[in-house]
Amino acid sequence: RLPVPKLEDTITRYLNAQKPLLNDDQFRKTEELAHAFEKGIGRELHEQLVAQDNQNKHTSYITGPWFDMYLKAREPVVLNFNAFMSFNPDPKPEYNDQLIRATNMTVSAIRFMKTFRAGYLEPEVFHLNPEKSDTEIFKKIIRFVPSSISWFGAYMVNAYPLDMSQYFRLFNSTRLPKLNKDELYTDEKAKHLLVLRNGNFYVFDVIDRDGNMLKPSEIQANLKYILSDNSPAPAFPLGYLSSENRDTWALLRKNLLENGNAEALQKVDSAMFCLSLDDFPIKDFVHVSHTMLHGDAANRWYDKSFNLIITKDGTAGINFEHSWGDGVAVLRFQNEVFKDSTKTPAISPQSQPASVDSSRAVQKLDFKLNDALKAGITEAKQKFDATVESLSLNLIQFQEGGKELLKQKKVSPDAVAQLAFQMAFLRQYDQTVATYESCSTAAFKHGRTETIRPASVHTKKCSEAFVKELSKHSTEELQKLIVECSNYHGRLTKEAAMGQGFDRHLFSLRYLALSKGLPLPDFYQDQAYARLNHNIISTSTLVSPAVQLGGFGPVVADGFGLGYQVHDDWIGCNVSSYPTRNGKEFLQCIHKSLEDIFNVLKGKKIGS
């Protein structure tokens, strides 16, 4: 189970995170508030949280508050919450044809779903010592151990089973807009797929009456039919509604239902997933990011648990709604779909589509729109276009080294990437700001995420040495500063992964106070608390053979959304920003910081 940290540990960790962001006077005030909270109302709330947690052993203390946080948020899900991961191309070029890849990935997705629902999906396990535990013999033995104690057997060999409770929401699921708080809806009985092309909505069954998957050649025939349909794009594309403010969308949805669209919406909401087929090829990586992060809202349904997006040239990606689950569940799905569709593809470029009557199998959904709905769609489109217009996406690939060299030098690759971000922001804006790094707590029952706070007194000191006082430090001193940052970041990462961060704990105590109708404690009214939770640099990382790149929008208007990957011999960064920040310059500063850090680790003297 996810542990509730000790309150004194949480306060200490919180103050450590505040220190680099505040001057001495500000820090003294925040420290006083924190200690008063720890001795007073904070202690009472903590004891209530622990008691509540002990009564709810079937779940974790963060589950309820975290779902609420997402589902009560009223901002549009696109750009604010939904993230994307794009697939690497199929290694066999002729398989990157749009129809072939769409068919193969759809078949692989259904195979994954059927395997999961039948209870045969291999458990997700984190192997600290794969030589011992990621072996056939260990799997054979553990199969015979009763599940109530099998996790203990895994722990003995340093293998940690991860929580998979989110997986069922991958399929047949949608976030429904409701006033004040949305709902998650799942209908596992539905057998159809939703396909969007050119703003038109199509559905067809991919599972037959006996629960078997349709033949791949039939799925191919139906997709081919949709790709060759030359119906004009709708004048008022419904997709834009899913990009609206949630309350606005909730009222428009009510109107849709009352206007005779209940059956069509039911098809959308219950569909296995949404396959979005775009009619253009991809120009470059920035174009990939724009297409997968937001694309054209006419051809997306952002409320679906995920949209599988495939462009004209077979570039594929996933855009996923975030309330139901985290990156780890989507990544597992993505890895399996990539592996299955490239290693054992269902159809080949030589395959012929089945001779079925797709005009009967495929249903094009028709929506009845009154003037209020048309006006709502027009307004949603204007807002969406304006927001997208103001969004910048930029990326770099740092080619001068990666994980291998950093491990050789005995420093943490993730710590070095995060140090480079701190250094870059200091170089560009001359300040240290609230920074967020997401860390999965799936090692625990119903775990979600915890925050790593990468901005520390160590990164601040090291960044200032590199950016402002280079001439005062020898290469050895700079190396030592990097190692200090690496050690501290390693400790923070370990704490977060073990449920020993401070963010979720403080979040839950605040949630508890508000849910009991108590006045908000002074601790939470501190400007420094608000500033720490205004995450100007929001970061997330993953590396996988299936994923080309990943990204998300800034979480605050004056922030950066930074997706990054540390590969064996290169580092990729993908940054999003709005006009108040310059993402291109930020990336140049990151590149310079990485260059300096790598040179220092190699023992080279660097110039300013």
Same domain, 358 and 479: no
Same domain, 529 and 561: yes
The last residue of one of the domains, among 329, 355, 390, is 390
Q: What's the residue count for the chain?
A: 608
CATH number at residue 146: 1.20.1280.180
270-282 pLDDT per residue, tens:
999 999 999 999 9
| Residue 2 resides in a domain | no
Same domain, 332 and 396: no
* Residue 132 pLDDT: 86
Same domain, 379 and 255: yes
Q: Long-range contacts of range 249-258, CB-CB < 8 Å, 24 or more positions apart?
A: 249/177, 249/380, 250/177, 250/178, 250/179, 250/182, 251/179, 252/372, 252/373, 252/376, 253/176, 253/177, 255/370, 255/372, 255/373, 255/376, 256/367, 256/373
Radius of gyration of the chain (CA): 25
| Residue 113 resides in a domain | yes
The last residue of one of the domains, among 161, 188, 218, is 161
Count of structural domains, the chain: 3
65-85: string of b/e by CB count within 10 Å (b at 16+)?
bbbeebbebbebbbbbbbbbb
| Residue 42 resides in a domain | yes
Q: Do 47 and 28 contact (CB within 8 A), yes or no?
A: no
The last residue of one of the domains, among 374, 390, 406, is 390
Q: Cα dihedral sign for 413, 559, 319, 507? A: positive
Amino acid at 384: F
| Residue 472 resides in a domain | yes
Q: Do 499 and 60 contact (CB within 8 A), yes or no?
A: no
Same domain, 231 and 368: yes
Maximum distance among all Cα pairs of the chain, rounded to whole angstroms = 77
CB atoms within 10 A of CB 397: 14
Q: Do 461 and 480 contact (CB within 8 A), yes or no?
A: no
| Residue 1 resides in a domain | no
Same domain, 386 and 406: no
Interatomic CA distance for residues 569 and 332, integer angstroms: 24
How big is the CA angle at 535 (ends 531 and 538), to the nearest 5 degrees?
165
| Residue 74 resides in a domain | no
Same domain, 483 and 472: yes
* Residue 105 pLDDT: 98
Q: Do 306 and 273 contact (CB within 8 A), yes or no?
A: yes
Tokens 């008063």: give the residue. 36
Instruction: Give the side-chain half-sphere CA count within 13 A for 289.
Output: 25
Q: Do 272 and 105 contact (CB within 8 A), yes or no?
A: no
Indicate the DSSP class of residue 61: T
Please identify which of the residues 46, 322, 489, 505 carries the catalytic annotation.
Answer: 322
177-222 pLDDT per residue, tens:
999 999 999 999 999 999 999 999 999 999 999 999 999 999 999 9
Same domain, 415 and 446: yes
| Residue 535 resides in a domain | yes
Q: What is the pTM of this model?
A: 0.96
Same domain, 417 and 561: yes
Same domain, 205 and 149: no
Same domain, 290 and 241: yes
Tokens 């542990």: give the residue. 3
| Residue 207 resides in a domain | yes
* Helix, strand or coil, per DSSP, at residue 581: coil
Is 591 one of the catalytic residues? Answer: no
Interatomic CA distance for residues 478 and 463, integer angstroms: 10
Residues in the chain predicted with pLDDT less than 50, given as ranges, are none
CATH number at residue 397: 3.30.559.10
Give CA 403 to chain center in angstroms. 22
Task: Supply the DSSP string of 185-205, one letter for each residue.
Answer: EE-TT--EEEEEETTEEEEEE
Give CA 187 to chain center in angstroms. 23
Q: Long-range contacts of range 557-561, CB-CB < 8 Å, 24 or more positions apart?
A: 559/534, 559/535, 560/536, 560/586
Interatomic CA distance for residues 51 and 67, integer angstroms: 20
Where in the sequence is the domain holding 528, given as residue range(s)? 7-68+392-602
Interatomic CA distance for residues 323 and 66, integer angstroms: 8
Instruction: Of 264, 290, 278, give the one whose Cα is nearest residue 233.
Output: 278
Interatomic CA distance for residues 258 and 261, integer angstroms: 7
Same domain, 240 and 259: yes
